[in-house]
């Protein structure tokens, strides 16, 4: 990272709203798809290479757009993010988390007045990339943060939901470290390319889980 400020974005204590979202783990646990550490590792790996890859690429591009000061492309990037989230529940959750992250970013880096140009409810990955630039991070670093969060946030949620050993959950994240880096590298290759070439890694199971979660009468997490 270019500085300690950028590390804040990967820290679960940064008030970006991530603690309120399970990344699909809660509905997966409710349905019996994820019941222990073995299933959790498979779930996280699949999420990393699908939703995580897409989010990392969007974050890298958002960071690059912020660096180039081209606000006219924010709407285009938002539309591309929308198209990659076919589930209405996923889109709503992404925008809620993006809005919370943007509020935290404006408070942490008030000098970055241009953050207001990306809209009031940007998708989370877009807000993350823009905030990463405000924190002096590069597009590649923004991609790495997004890829890491695709694994770390659901892992943390699983510990609370399934009463798992936090040490073993941390070990799963550590074992995925090389894959997190690989996803980040693949995603950051798109930072200067056409928006329509951004990854569209499909995760139908996550979409179905999100819709089931939205209809659940009792739930601990927002998504």
Domains of the chain, first to last: 4-10+23-213 (1.10.4190.10)
Report the mean per-residue pLDDT for the chain: 90
**Taking the complete model, does pTM exceed 0.85, yes or no?**
yes
Q: Where does the pLDDT of residue 218 fall: very low under 50, low under 70, confident under 90, or very high at 90 and above?
A: confident
Residue 183 has pLDDT above 90, yes or no: yes
pLDDT tens across 93-138, in order? 999 999 999 999 999 999 988 888 888 899 999 999 999 999 999 9
Give the residue, 16 or 153, on which the prediction is more confident: 153
pLDDT tens across 51-77, in order? 999 999 999 999 999 988 554 488 899
Q: How far apart are CA 198 and CA 140, in angstroms?
A: 15
Q: Where does the pLDDT of residue 163 fall: very low under 50, low under 70, confident under 90, or very high at 90 and above?
A: very high
């Amino acid at each position: 990272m270019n500085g300690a400020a950028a590390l804040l974005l990967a820290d679960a204590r940064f008030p970006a709203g991530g603690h309120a979202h399970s990344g699909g783990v809660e509905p997966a646990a409710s349905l019996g798809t994820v019941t222990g550490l073995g299933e959790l590792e498979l779930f996280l790996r699949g999420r990393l290479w699908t939703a995580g890859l897409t989010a990392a690429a969007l974050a890298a591009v958002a960071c690059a757009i912020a660096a180039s000061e081209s606000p006219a492309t924010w709407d285009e990037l938002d539309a591309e993010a929308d198209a990659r989230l076919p589930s209405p529940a996923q889109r709503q959750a992404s925008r809620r988390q993006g809005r919370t992250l943007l509020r935290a970013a404006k408070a942490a880096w008030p000098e970055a007045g241009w953050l207001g140009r990306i809209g009031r409810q940007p998708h989370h990955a877009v807000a993350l990339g823009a905030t990463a630039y405000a924190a002096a991070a590069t597009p590649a670093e923004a991609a790495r943060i997004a890829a890491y969060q695709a694994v770390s946030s659901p892992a943390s949620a699983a510990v609370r939901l399934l009463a798992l050993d936090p040490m073993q959950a941390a070990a799963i994240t550590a074992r995925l470290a090389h894959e997190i880096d690989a996803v980040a590298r693949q995603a950051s290759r798109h930072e200067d390319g056409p928006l329509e070439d951004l990854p569209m890694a499909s995760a139908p199971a996550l979409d179905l889980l999100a819709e089931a979660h939205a209809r659940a009468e009792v739930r601990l997490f927002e998504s």
